[in-house]
Amino acid sequence: MARELWLIPLLPALSSAVLLLLGSRLSRRWISLQACLAVLASLALSAAALVRLLGAANGAPPLSGTLFTWVASGSLSVPASLTFDPLTAVMSLVVTGVGLLIHVYSAGYMAGDRDYSRYFGLLNLFTFFMLVLVMASSIVLMFVGWEGVGLCSYLLIGFWFEKPAAARAGMKAFIVTRVGDAAFVLGMLTLVAAVGGPEFARINAAAAAGGLAPWLATLAPVLLFAGAAGKSAQVPLYVWLPDAMEGPTPVSALIHAATMVTAGVYMVARLNGLYSASAVAGPLVASVGAVTAVFAASLALVQTDIKKVLAYSTISQLGYMFIGCGVGAYGAGIFHLVTHAFFKGLLFLAAGSVIHALSGEQDIRKMGGLRRRLPRTFPAFFVAALAISGIPFLSGFFSKDAILTSAYEGGHLAVWLLGLLAAVMTAFYIFRLVFLIFFGEERTDAEVRRHIHESPPVMTVPLAVLAVLSALGGLIGLPAVFGERADLLGRFLAPVLKAAEAPPAAVEWNLILVSTTAAAGGLFLAFLFYLRYPGTPARLAARWPFLYRTLIGKYYVDEFYDAVFVRPLVRGSELVYASFDLAVIDGALNGSAAAAQAAGRGASRLQTGRIKDYALAFLLGAVLFLGFILAWKA
Amino acid sequence: MSVPILTCLTFLPLAGGLLLIFLPRDRVREARATALVFSLAALALALVVYARFDGATGAAQFVERAPWLGRGLNYHIGVDGLSLFLVLLTAFLTPVALLSSWRAVTDRVREFSFFMLLLETGVVGVFVSLNLFLFYVFWEAMLIPMYFLIGIWGGRRRVYATTKFVLFTMFGSLLMLVGIFVLYARANPTAAGPSLAFQDLYRLTLPPGVQTWLFLAFALAFAIKVPLFPLHTWLPDAHVEAPTAGSVLLAAVLLKMGAYGFLRLGLPLFPDAARTFLPALSVLAVIGIIYGGLMALVQKDMKSLVAYSSVSHMGLIMLALFALNFESTEGALFQMVNHGLSTGALFLCVGVLYERGHTRLIADYGGVGRRMPVFSAVFLIAMLSSMGLPGLNGFVGEVLCLFGVLAANKVLAALAVTTTVLSAAYLLWLFRRVMHGPALSERVLGLKDMDARERLVLVPVVALMFWLGLFPGTVLRKMDASVARYLELVRTKPAARTVASAAVRPVTPPPQSSGAATIVGSAMAEEGR
């Protein structure tokens, strides 16, 4: 298995090409079947590669396959080369596994859409680029996937492009992430030039050996992280993700929750040698992660659109992953990435099922009491909510705990406290959703209420599978207190990401107790606010109207960016265009042309046609000429 | 005796044009077909040249020489890795442009086709010339067809635009002509008299003062053509008024003549002076990148948006050229081809829309995507190619350019990288306003998707974008040796170049400058100061 590795991404690419080019001639059933089969084949091949990897001797080099040399010019040479090591194995299984479930779900969710083949073509194309991203053995090829998923994200957010809001959101997503990508490109190319090649292994080795100039060792990871902050929606570049909810809900689940937005986390983990070698990069990553975790969670508290709550929740959870990577617990970051893919994918799909049932309603104030009306969706959502809150023994509990423990153990107390605060908020906002959607009185519109129905099996089966994974997925990464060899994922990833030092058992238990209390506290608060005393939120809002308005206004960050960046840039350019490009440059040009014309016209006036004028001129000239000669001689 | 393939390639279009003159005025279909057949034949020849081109050597190939006016003004042509792909690009885009105008140009088709073919000969001639005088003749000759193409088949302000275009470029070329006279006066006489052959000129040792003035004269001519900020204002006007086919060739190949001039003449002929002015020129290039991007952002006319995006893209190409290292130079050359394809395709797309809606104002559209899905996909790909999305050609060029520029100057590279954000902003915003949203106006509701001919025009261009994005080696491999040789030239002083140029043309013995030339030369140097 070497060049065959390329089949894993190329099968979805091939399927995508067929769907996008010939889609109009295929039956709907065939379209969804082909799209799902392509991803299934990738999943199977990834699993086969995993088996090979597990069977390989300890210390054996990872699987890799090169197709050809893609770019070769001078000292820059980029092979089209994939690698399959433990980290790639985890990522590609998540991408194809969760991806397959979402493909299946989409067959039901998008059943009535007129652009069925474009949808599945783009979804397959996304899978291709995402697999290139996680399998690339060089940073430049990873960037191909990185930009490619961005493109698919743009096209899928704006899938219903006739809706102006959707078109605008897609554009915003692309441009905002490109701001980060510009920095990424600088960092990437500088690094490649410094270490003499684009391979991850080379970069990590050079950084670990101290082979980078000090300024570069600091600057490169920071620039790359700017790209990660764009792609993974961290402060200050997170603003595109909430708007991205304009896309179809399965797209939000796949791209804007489970896979693409985690690319930044993956990149940092992949370049762990580089990030560990810098004294600045790690703390920066952890701080940005911690701030984002709290910041976004606070916004999730008051949102009334079900998908917007989940979007801010995703931003916040991505912050957790960066905390893990920033404090050096890359394995914990990746662990949370995996469990988050399960439970956040599930939350989105379940939300999609609710929206589907309510004929498109997304406002949680117009839901309520749906527990019995949606008997399959409700338990799925509930399990995912428990998992994300960090209720013991569900998946999110273990991964969040691994991150917080590492932060605490690494001495990053402020980061740990922020993480804990975000944990309380997480449990609160997610159970706010649970209580408002599934409990209490039915607040649905009468018209909507008549049509409420549970989703078909093609949608609920993926929910069930993800619910099982959300519940049990944490067992792959048990903390050390459950035994030295309990952390399966950590041991599997050890060749790539060195495992974090486990704290003493007593400390570990205490930390578990603290974070469990935080989760339970948040949950209980939500219970008080939204079930026991439902008038509380309104009273609080009335008590602190400024705080409430700021939260509802999303801290006015969008308005700030608009006023400080977008508007001045456009207005300024308009001004420069009118006053400089047209007036000064062109004006000078046309002016000189006019001057030449005027001069010509003036000169032509000398040509009067009257003999006596010419005679006078002749005489004047002769006198001047003679005078000049005489003066010169004298 | 082999076939003079390059001569055939260069003059085949002209021959076709001359044939057209004998065609009766009303034989429109025949005129179109003749032009297309001749341009396709030229393309076939260009492909033969590409296939037989030996990438292992940096020297000119397919060289042909013949005495012409005597005294060093010879007919002397050939291609190397620097010019090969520009010749190919011209040969590829001319039939594309001809085919694109079958519905757009219905008035005086015979004359239109004639000028298009004349233009092809002029542009190819510039790229294959190996003698400075011949180069200048082609350089000026190509203005004539362009003048008429804009002036006759252009839009409402066509006379203003074409006069501006010609005056602007003539102004630069006249200075260059003065420079050529000076060079001629100083040229080292070979056995057959003074030589204006490039490889002989490369060995001229010019005093610094003369170099400076000559470089400025040549650089101005080239900078206007590129166009380098702030000499760009002729471009939006010319583009907006030109017919689609004219815009395509203007953007795709005419602008490249400016960059090519720097590459072939400006930098290697006057290396010391060039080095003095490179920092300033690089700054202008960077300003052009950002300025062009910002101006593109606020254009209301699609064509002038694409025109300003050209200013921005050409800025990056020039910045890379001025970085003078291997990757940047190859990147610049590769990006010239890319820019030709992507901007050419964007102009073709605007043309497709204009033929239907009879307006180029962005505000007149909206919701086109639903009406014209195939067109929308092609437009999207052209756009992505222009903004350097990986998998398509533009990415490879951009990465090589930036990689090279980073090695030369990190601050300029950091400023140049803003192009990735700006290009995404102005292009996606354009796409959103034209393609997305609901279709409301009558104009949009009546739109029909691209027909078979239009697909035939655009599909090859799109296919090339993918091909070059996935397999850039097919181009880069054949450039390597020539780029290495070029950098050798730019980096070594002319006096030390005998070895390098011996590899070019082993026949001529290194000449000694004669007394007369030295006297004239030093007099010039005096004046130069």
Interface membership of B435 toward A (CB under 8 Å): yes
Binary contact (B233, A586; C-beta < 8 A): yes
Identify the closest residue of chain A to B326 by CA–CA distance: A74
Smallest Cβ distance to B424: which of A148, A178, A183? Answer: A178
Of A133, A231, A140, which is closest to residue B403 (Cα–Cα)? A140
Give the mean model confidence (pLDDT) for residues B268-283: 92
Strands B193-194 and B61-70 come out as unpaired
**Least confident window among A25-29, A120-124, A442-446:** A442-446
Identify the closest residue of chain A to B378 by CA–CA distance: A21
Residue A433 has pLDDT above 80, yes or no: yes
Identify the closest residue of chain A to B472 by CA–CA distance: A71
Identify the closest residue of chain A to B484 by CA–CA distance: A74
Can you list the alpha helix ranges (DSSP code H) found in A136-208?
Answer: 139-157, 164-195, 200-208
Binary contact (A185, B406; C-beta < 8 A): no
Bridge partners (DSSP) listed for residue B79: B61
Residues of B in contact with A154 (CB under 8 A): 428
Residue A534 has pLDDT above 90, yes or no: no
What count of Cα atoms within 13 Å lies in the side-chain half-sphere of residue B117? 30
Alpha-carbon gap, residue A217 to A222, rounded angstroms? 9
Alpha-carbon gap, residue A454 to A356, rounded angstroms? 9
Smallest Cβ distance to B367: which of A144, A162, A170? Answer: A162
Q: Helix, strand or coil for residue B309?
A: helix
Residue A249 has pLDDT above 80, yes or no: yes
Could you read off the pLDDT of B13-44 as tens digits, one per residue? 999 999 998 988 888 888 999 999 999 999 99
Of A267, A34, A28, A33, which is closest to residue A130 (Cα–Cα)? A267
ipTM here:
0.90
Closest approach of B353 to chain A, Cα-based (Å): 19
Q: Left if phi > 0, otherwise alpha if psi is -120 to 50, otherwise beta: which for B358? A: left
**Which pLDDT does position B203 carry in this prediction?**
85
**Which pLDDT does position A478 carry in this prediction?**
87
When comparing pLDDT for B206 and B407, which is higher?
A: B407
Bridge partners (DSSP) listed for residue A560: none
Can you list the alpha helix ranges (DSSP code H) found in B154-195?
Answer: 158-186
H/E stretch holding B435 reads helix B418-435
Could you read off the pLDDT of B319-374 as tens digits, one per residue? 999 999 999 999 999 999 999 999 999 999 999 999 999 999 999 999 999 999 99
Axis-axis angle for helices A545-552, A536-543 (nearest 10): 110
What count of Cα atoms within 13 Å lies in the side-chain half-sphere of residue B393? 29
For residue B21, what are the contacts with CB-CB under 8 A and spacing of at least 6? Answer: B110, B114
**Which pLDDT does position B73 carry in this prediction?**
85
Interface membership of B330 toward A (CB under 8 Å): yes
Residue B83 has pLDDT above 90, yes or no: yes
Instruction: From residue A332, give the alpha-carbon distance in Å to each of A337, B124, B145.
Output: 8, 61, 67
Angle ∠(B138,B141,B144) on CA atoms, nearest 5: 155
Q: Helix, strand or coil for residue A570?
A: helix
Bridge partners (DSSP) listed for residue A136: A82
Can you list the alpha helix ranges (DSSP code H) found in A494-554?
Answer: 505-527, 536-543, 545-552
Interface membership of B395 toward A (CB under 8 Å): yes
- Long-range contacts of the stretch B499-508 (C-beta < 8 A, 24+): B500/B202, B501/B199, B501/B202, B501/B203, B503/B58, B503/B59, B504/B59, B504/B60, B504/B199, B505/B59, B505/B197, B505/B199, B508/B190, B508/B191, B508/B200
Alpha-carbon gap, residue A46 to A67, rounded angstroms? 18
Contact call for residues B7 and B56 (beta carbons, < 8 A): no
Give the mean model confidence (pLDDT) for residues A5-26: 94
Alpha-carbon gap, residue B527 to B520, rounded angstroms? 11
Residues of B in contact with A76 (CB under 8 A): 327, 399-400, 403
Taking residue B280's Cβ as centre, other Cβ atoms within 10 Å add up to 10
Closest approach of B441 to chain A, Cα-based (Å): 14
Give the mean model confidence (pLDDT) for residues A58-80: 87
Contact call for residues B273 and B212 (beta carbons, < 8 A): yes
Q: Helix, strand or coil for residue A63?
A: strand
Q: How confident is the model at residue A610 (pLDDT cuts 50, 70, 90)?
A: confident
Alpha-carbon gap, residue A70 to A68, rounded angstroms? 6
Taking residue A301's Cβ as centre, other Cβ atoms within 10 Å add up to 17
Q: How confident is the model at residue A480 (pLDDT cuts 50, 70, 90)?
A: confident
Smallest Cβ distance to A576: which of B168, B294, B425? Answer: B294
Give the mean model confidence (pLDDT) for residues A176-186: 95
**Which pLDDT does position B495 carry in this prediction?**
65
Closest approach of A95 to chain B, Cα-based (Å): 21
Binary contact (A182, B294; C-beta < 8 A): no
Residue B504 has pLDDT above 70, yes or no: no
Alpha-carbon gap, residue B400 to A193, rounded angstroms? 11
Residues of A in contact with B418 (CB under 8 A): 182
Residue A217 has pLDDT above 50, yes or no: yes
Residue B204 has pLDDT above 90, yes or no: no
- Read off φ and ψ for residue B70, nearest 5 degrees: 80, 180
Residues of B in contact with A151 (CB under 8 A): 384, 389
H/E stretch holding B30 reads helix B28-52
Q: How confident is the model at residue A336 (pLDDT cuts 50, 70, 90)?
A: very high
**Which pLDDT does position B191 carry in this prediction?**
63
3-state secondary structure A6-61: HHHHHHHHHHHHHHHHHHHHCCHHHHHHHHHHHHHHHHHHHHHHHHHHHHCCCCCC
Interface membership of B399 toward A (CB under 8 Å): yes
Closest approach of A263 to chain B, Cα-based (Å): 17
Could you tell me the two tokens for A189?
A: 């190319």
Residue B503 has pLDDT above 50, yes or no: no
Q: What is the CA radius of gyration of chain B?
A: 23
3-state secondary structure A350-419: HHHHHHHHCCCCCEHHHCCCCCCCCCCHHHHHHHHHHHHHCCCCCHHHHHHHHHHHHHHHCCCHHHHHHH
Could you read off the pLDDT of B157-191 as tens digits, one per residue? 898 889 888 888 888 889 999 999 988 888 776 66
Residue A627 has pLDDT above 80, yes or no: yes
Could you tell me the two tokens for A209?
A: 């050996």
Q: How confident is the model at residue B498 (pLDDT cuts 50, 70, 90)?
A: low
Alpha-carbon gap, residue B458 to B352, rounded angstroms? 10
- Chain B residues 437-476 within an 8 A CB cutoff of chain A: 437-439, 470-473, 476
**Which pLDDT does position A583 carry in this prediction?**
78
**Least confident window among A113-122, A264-273, A564-573, A575-584:** A575-584
Interface membership of B369 toward A (CB under 8 Å): yes
Q: How big is the A-B interface in CB pairs under 8 Å? A: 135
Closest approach of B233 to chain A, Cα-based (Å): 6
Q: How confident is the model at residue A448 (pLDDT cuts 50, 70, 90)?
A: confident
C-alpha torsion sign, points A443, A447, A448, A450: positive
User: Would you give the DSSP letter of residue B196?
Assistant: -
Contact call for residues B319 and B407 (beta carbons, < 8 A): no
- Which parts of A566-617 are beta strand (E)? none
Tell the residue number behind the tokens 């109009």, with chain if given: A24
User: Would you give the DSSP letter of residue B193?
Assistant: E
Q: Helix, strand or coil for residue B318?
A: helix
Burial (CB count <10 Å: 0-12, 13-18, 19+), residue B357: middle
Tell the residue number behind the tokens 């380098």, with chain if given: B228
User: Mutating which of B304, B411, B420 best tests the A interface, going by the most A Cβ atoms within 10 A?
Assistant: B420
Identify the closest residue of chain A to B296 by CA–CA distance: A573
Q: How confident is the model at residue A2 (pLDDT cuts 50, 70, 90)?
A: confident
Q: How confident is the model at residue A56 (pLDDT cuts 50, 70, 90)?
A: confident
**Which pLDDT does position A220 carry in this prediction?**
94
For residue A395, what are the contacts with CB-CB under 8 A and spacing of at least 6? Answer: A339, A342, A343, A387, A469, A470, A471, A472, A473, A474
Give the mean model confidence (pLDDT) for residues B404-426: 95
**Least confident window among A6-15, A448-457, B192-201:** B192-201
Could you read off the pLDDT of A373-390 as tens digits, one per residue? 999 999 999 999 999 999
Smallest Cβ distance to B390: which of A147, A171, A586? Answer: A147
Alpha-carbon gap, residue A550 to B303, rounded angstroms? 43
Residue A359 has pLDDT above 70, yes or no: yes
pLDDT-above-70 percentage for chain A: 100
Taking residue A258's Cβ as centre, other Cβ atoms within 10 Å add up to 31
**Which pLDDT does position A617 carry in this prediction?**
84
- Chain B residues 252-311 within an 8 A CB cutoff of chain A: 291, 294-295, 297-299
Residue A4 has pLDDT above 50, yes or no: yes
Closest approach of B387 to chain A, Cα-based (Å): 11
- Read off φ and ψ for residue B21, nearest 5 degrees: -60, -30
Give counts: helices (H), strands (E), chain A: 28, 2
H/E stretch holding A82 reads strand A76-84
Smallest Cβ distance to A76: which of B294, B327, B424? Answer: B327
Give the mean model confidence (pLDDT) for residues A358-365: 91
Smallest Cβ distance to A190: which of B230, B390, B406? Answer: B406
Could you tell me the two tokens for A270?
A: 């992949």
Of A51, A42, A139, A133, which is closest to residue A88 (Cα–Cα)? A133
Taking residue A390's Cβ as centre, other Cβ atoms within 10 Å add up to 28
Residue A545 has pLDDT above 50, yes or no: yes
Give the mean model confidence (pLDDT) for residues A345-358: 95
Alpha-carbon gap, residue A39 to A478, rounded angstroms? 30
**Which pLDDT does position A256 carry in this prediction?**
93
Tell the residue number behind the tokens 């009491």, with chain if given: A369
Give the mean model confidence (pLDDT) for residues B445-467: 93
Smallest Cβ distance to B437: which of A144, A147, A167? Answer: A167
Binary contact (A186, B413; C-beta < 8 A): yes
Closest approach of A190 to chain B, Cα-based (Å): 7
For residue A99, what are the contacts with CB-CB under 8 A and spacing of at least 6? Answer: A39, A43, A127, A130, A254, A258, A259
Binary contact (B233, A585; C-beta < 8 A): yes
Could you read off the pLDDT of B140-163 as tens digits, one per residue? 999 999 999 999 998 888 988 898
Smallest Cβ distance to A147: which of B389, B428, B470? Answer: B389
Smallest Cβ distance to A185: which of B370, B391, B417? Answer: B417
Could you read off the pLDDT of A78-87 as tens digits, one per residue? 999 999 999 9
**Least confident window among A558-562, B52-56, B190-194:** B190-194
Residues of A in contact with B233 (CB under 8 A): 581, 585-586, 589
Binary contact (B384, A151; C-beta < 8 A): yes
